[in-house]
């Protein structure tokens, strides 16, 4: 399918499996610019860190946790957040500690900041994380809101938020991409806000559509991708897209458009959601 839809770059936000190796192996075979970070489920519930270490070995330089990966083409600097995070401020799991050692809040933020400031300033910078930063709201429906307990709160990563503020003192960050917190809220609370754009022009997109595979009412198989168009001034268009197995675009939910959208009349659209 990716050979048909041909994105300029593919960014993977983690939780590819519960430590199984099939998807990391497939990612190594793709012939397109790609960067990824690992999520908390990628540790395989192995507190020794062995499973996490094996995932990292399989991915090699595709994984950019705490590091810079430059994609040329299309000309994009991608910096990863803390690997294997499960959100909630700053917590290193036993598996992550076994692999990376003890990394405190300041150290983690500094690693992200150093990687970002080492990027070519002529390239647009994207922060890629498993969980998004704190500061995007504390309600259950916010992009990083806790929805599985009745007392909602901001469940973002504090180290990522600290790094972002420090980076933006030096250069612009047009886009932060993450996942972890599912679009459909628990306890029948509805749907999560999956896109925000702050006053400084940074766009945030939560790509955690779970499950990513599904069917429509006609029985057609669907595959979900979050889709971003970047321009010289930042994000030009953001949407969630559902493709058929042949790579045909079947549905699109428009999240943001810098100009009035030109929509083919045959393309069904979900309601437009904008957050400025």
* pLDDT over 50 at 174, yes or no: yes
Confidence of residue 274 (pLDDT cuts 50, 70, 90): very low
Query: Looking at 79-83, 253-257, 269-273, which range is the least confident one?
Result: 269-273
Cα 88 versus chain centre, distance: 16
Q: What burial letters (b/e) apply to 82-107, b meaning 16+ CB within 10 Å?
A: bbbbbbbebebbebbebbbeebebee
For residue 261, pLDDT over 90 is answered with: no
Separation between Cα atoms, residue 84 and residue 23, nearest integer Å: 16
User: So what's the pLDDT on residue 259?
Assistant: 75
Q: How does pLDDT run across 206-240, given as a tens digit for each residue?
A: 999 999 999 999 999 999 999 999 999 999 999 99
Map out the domains of the chain as residue ranges: 2-210
Domain 2-210, CATH homologous superfamily name and number: GpdQ, beta-strand dimerisation domain (3.30.750.180)
Prediction pTM value: 0.93
Helix (H, G, I), strand (E, B) or coil at 274: coil
In the numeric block, which tokens belong to residue 190?
């509805």
**106-121 pLDDT per residue, tens:** 999 999 999 999 999 9
pLDDT (average), residues 178-201: 97
Q: What is the pLDDT of residue 117?
A: 98
Angle at which helices 50-59 and 22-29 pack, to 10 degrees? Answer: 10
Q: What percent of the chain has pLDDT over 70?
A: 94
pLDDT, position 74? 96
Q: How confident is the model at residue 266 (pLDDT cuts 50, 70, 90)?
A: very low
Mean pLDDT, residues 33-62 taken together: 96
pLDDT given at position 228: 98
Specify the pLDDT at position 260: 64
Radius of gyration of the chain (CA): 18
């Amino acid at each position: 399918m990716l050979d048909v839809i041909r994105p300029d770059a593919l960014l993977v936000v983690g939780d590819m499996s519960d430590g199984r190796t099939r998807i990391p192996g497939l990612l190594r075979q793709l012939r397109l610019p790609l960067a990824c970070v690992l999520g908390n489920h990628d540790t395989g519930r192995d507190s020794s860190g062995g499973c996490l270490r094996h995932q990292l070995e399989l991915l090699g330089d595709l994984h950019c946790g705490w590091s810079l990966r430059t994609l040329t083409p299309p000309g994009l600097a991608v910096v990863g957040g803390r690997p294997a995070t499960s959100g909630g401020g700053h917590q290193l799991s036993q598996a992550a500690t076994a692999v990376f050692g003890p990394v405190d809040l300041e150290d983690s933020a500094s690693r992200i900041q150093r990687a970002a400031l080492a990027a070519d300033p002529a390239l647009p910078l994207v922060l890629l994380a498993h969980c998004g930063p704190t500061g995007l709201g504390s309600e259950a429906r916010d992009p990083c809101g806790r929805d599985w307990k009745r007392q909602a709160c901001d469940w973002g990563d504090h180290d990522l938020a600290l790094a972002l503020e420090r980076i933006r003192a030096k250069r612009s960050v047009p886009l932060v991409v993450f996942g972890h917190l599912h679009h459909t809220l628990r306890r029948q609370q509805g749907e999560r806000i999956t896109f925000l754009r702050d006053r400084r022009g940074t766009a945030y997109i939560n790509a955690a559509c779970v499950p990513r595979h599904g069917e429509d009412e006609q029985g057609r198989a669907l595959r979900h991708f979050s889709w971003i168009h970047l321009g010289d001034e930042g994000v030009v268009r953001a949407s969630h897209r559902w493709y058929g197995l042949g790579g045909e675009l079947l549905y699109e939910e428009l999240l943001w458009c810098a100009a009035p959208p030109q929509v083919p009349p045959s393309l069904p659209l979900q309601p437009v959601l904008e957050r400025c």
